[in-house]
Chains A and B, each alone.
Chain A
Amino acid sequence: MNKIAHLVRRLNLGSTVALLILVAIWLAPTIGLLITSLRPNEMAQTSPWWDAFLNPLSTVWTLDAYQHSLQSGMLDSLINTFAITIPATILPLMIAANAAYAFTFLDFKGKEVYFAVLVGLLVIPVQSSLLPVLRGMVWFQKTFHIPLTGTYASAWVVHSAFALPLAIYIFRNYMMTLPKELIEAAKVDGATSYQIFWQLVLPMSIPSIASFAIFQFLWVWNDYLIAFIFVGEQKPVMTYRLLRLLGQFGQGWRDVAAGSFISLIIPLIVFFSLQRYFVRGLLAGSVKG
Chain B
Amino acid sequence: MGDIVFAIVAIVIGIAASYGLFGLLNFLLSLLPARIYQKNSWLAFLTPAAVLVILVLVMPLFQTVIWSFKDKGVKEWVGFKNYVNIFTDVHFLAILLNNFLWVLVVPAVTVAIGTIVATLTNQVGPTLEKIFKSLIFMPMSISFVAASTIWAYFYAYTPPGRPVIGLLNAIVGWFGIGSQPWITIDQGRLNSFLLMAVLVWLQVGYAMVVISAAIKAVPEETIEAAQLDGANAWQLFAGIVLPQIWGTVMSVFITVLILVMKIFDIILAMTRGNFTTGVLALEWYNRFFVDSNLGSASAVVTVLVILIAPLMWLQINTARQQEILR
Q: Which residues of A contact B (CB under 8 A)?
A: 10-12, 15-16, 18-19, 22-23, 26-30, 32-33, 36, 44-50, 76, 79-80, 82-83, 86-87, 90-91, 94-96, 98-99, 101-103, 106-108, 114, 116, 118-133, 136, 152-153, 156-158, 160-162, 164-165, 168-169, 173, 176, 192-194, 197, 218, 221-225, 239, 242-243, 246, 253, 256-257, 259-260, 263-264, 267-268, 270-272, 275, 278-279, 282-283, 286-289
User: How many residues of chain B are within 8 Å of chain A by beta carbon?
Assistant: 110
Q: Contacts of A119 on B, CB cut-off 8 Å?
A: 315-316, 319
Q: Contacts of A264 on B, CB cut-off 8 Å?
A: 141-143, 146
B257 CB → nearest A CB, Å: 10
CA distance in complex: A169, B63 (Å): 25
Q: Contacts of A33 on B, CB cut-off 8 Å?
A: 149-150, 153
B253 CB → nearest A CB, Å: 10
| In the complex, B195 has a CB within 8 A of chain A | no
B153 CB → nearest A CB, Å: 5
Given contacts A87-B14, A158-B56, A283-B209, contact A125 B262 (CB under 8 A): yes
Closest residue of chain B to A167 (Cβ to Cβ) is B49
Q: Contacts of A86 on B, CB cut-off 8 Å?
A: 11
Q: Contacts of B288 on A, CB cut-off 8 Å?
A: 131
Q: How would you classify the secondary structure of chain A's contact residues: helix, strand, loop or mixed?
A: helix
Q: Is A161 touching B140 in the complex (CB atoms < 8 A)?
A: no
Q: Is A124 touching B61 in the complex (CB atoms < 8 A)?
A: yes
Give 17 A-B contacts (CB < 8 Å), ordered by A residue. A26-B136, A28-B167, A48-B170, A83-B10, A98-B46, A99-B45, A108-B42, A121-B57, A129-B61, A129-B64, A131-B60, A153-B10, A156-B14, A193-B42, A194-B30, A225-B265, A282-B210
Q: Contacts of B48 on A, CB cut-off 8 Å?
A: 95, 98-99
Q: How would you classify the secondary structure of chain B's contact residues: helix, strand, loop or mixed?
A: helix
CA distance in complex: A123, B61 (Å): 13
CA distance in complex: A33, B153 (Å): 7
The 8 A-B pairs with the shortest beta carbon distances in the complex, nearest first, are: A289-B247, A222-B143, A129-B60, A161-B56, A83-B7, A132-B60, A271-B141, A99-B49
Closest residue of chain A to B254 (Cβ to Cβ) is A287
Q: Which residues of B contact A (CB under 8 A)?
A: 3-4, 7, 10-11, 14-15, 18-19, 22, 26, 30, 41-42, 44-46, 48-50, 52-53, 55-61, 63-64, 67, 117, 120-121, 123-125, 128, 132, 134-146, 148-154, 156, 163-165, 167, 170, 201, 206, 209-210, 213, 246-248, 250-252, 254-255, 258, 261-262, 264-265, 268-269, 281, 284-285, 288, 294, 297-298, 301-302, 304-305, 308-309, 311-313, 315-316, 318-322, 326
